[in-house]
Structure 1
Amino acid sequence: MSAKIRTIAQMGMLFALAMALSFLEGLLPVLPGLPPGFKLGLSNIVTMYCLFFWGRRKALLMAVLKSSFVLLTRGVTAGLLSLTGGLVSVAVMALLLLPKRSSLSYFTISVAGAVAHNLGQLAAAAFLLQTALSLYYMPVILVAGIGMGAVTGTVLKMVLPYLKRLSPEKPRPKAEP
């Protein structure tokens, strides 16, 4: 099998995994104490994996694919929020990985990505609503982003031994926080 076909097949499997995780997350009951609309972001684990092992382009592609799915299944507003959050998140995590041998852990990068994702979505919501009132939600979003990023970073660390088989290269961040 050619390298290009193998890459397409692997990205397809990763996208399917992201959709399965998103579906699974939708089956979970709302966690007590979380503000309305907050999710764990389990499908973001796949985007982080793509960034760490496949690079920025594949991570951006995964964010766009996930957002396209959201657009088709949940509508334009949800699609725009997903795209904005995903692109901002990938951009922030990619910037944190710029030093060739980043000393930041998966956990730290995951938390930063989750907070960036939430802030990107908040900015998009403020734009859509044409009011800065949505920015009052920022403290809640920051706390939730830290918590959700901690969860997804921990889960990523736990599943990495199973995902490494799909990896074309070695990861860049340290495995331990």
Structure 2
Amino acid sequence: MDELVVRTTVYADPKNVYEFLLDFPRYARYTEYLRDVRTAAGDGGPGTRYALTFAWWKLTYTAHSTVTDVEPPERIDWQITKDIDAGGCWRITPNGDSCEVALEVEFDPDSASPDALDLPRLVSFDWVLAKAVPLIRGEAERVVERAVRDLEGSTRDVDLDVYVDSERI
């Protein structure tokens, strides 16, 4: 499994941060490649299912995820439910008048199903993975930075602490 963690300080109440992050459909505003998030079932708690439509290059793909556990106001766990072994969590750690927020993602690119995409002729699935996997880090950083902006109500330089345990990301 490859792992990516993006963390930063947010100057907001941890309970408000938790409620904000629980509203997953808003994430489509934060990324370059996530076009739409539809709630298939649920209210954000365990068992909530989402359909996430991504578009990159000439490809469009809908991933399906499920919220697997929550620990208000400190943690929201999720799992991708088809085509790839992937999951993660949002972790909120109170720290006085602020909190540390971390987006943690684990995934196995080698578990991705080649049948998940309708590829153009002469394009290999391995080529798509080699180009798409490195985009994950930038997307995670962008999501965290934009969430901080909305949570704090202003724009500032966000100091990100990024941990990556893979040369692919």
Q: Give the TM bin, normalised by the shorter chain.
A: 0.3 to 0.5
Higher normalized strand content (fraction of residues):
2
TM-score (norm 2): 0.36
* Larger RCO: 1 or 2 (CA < 8 Å, sep 6+): 2
TM-score (norm 1): 0.35
Higher normalized helix content (fraction of residues):
1
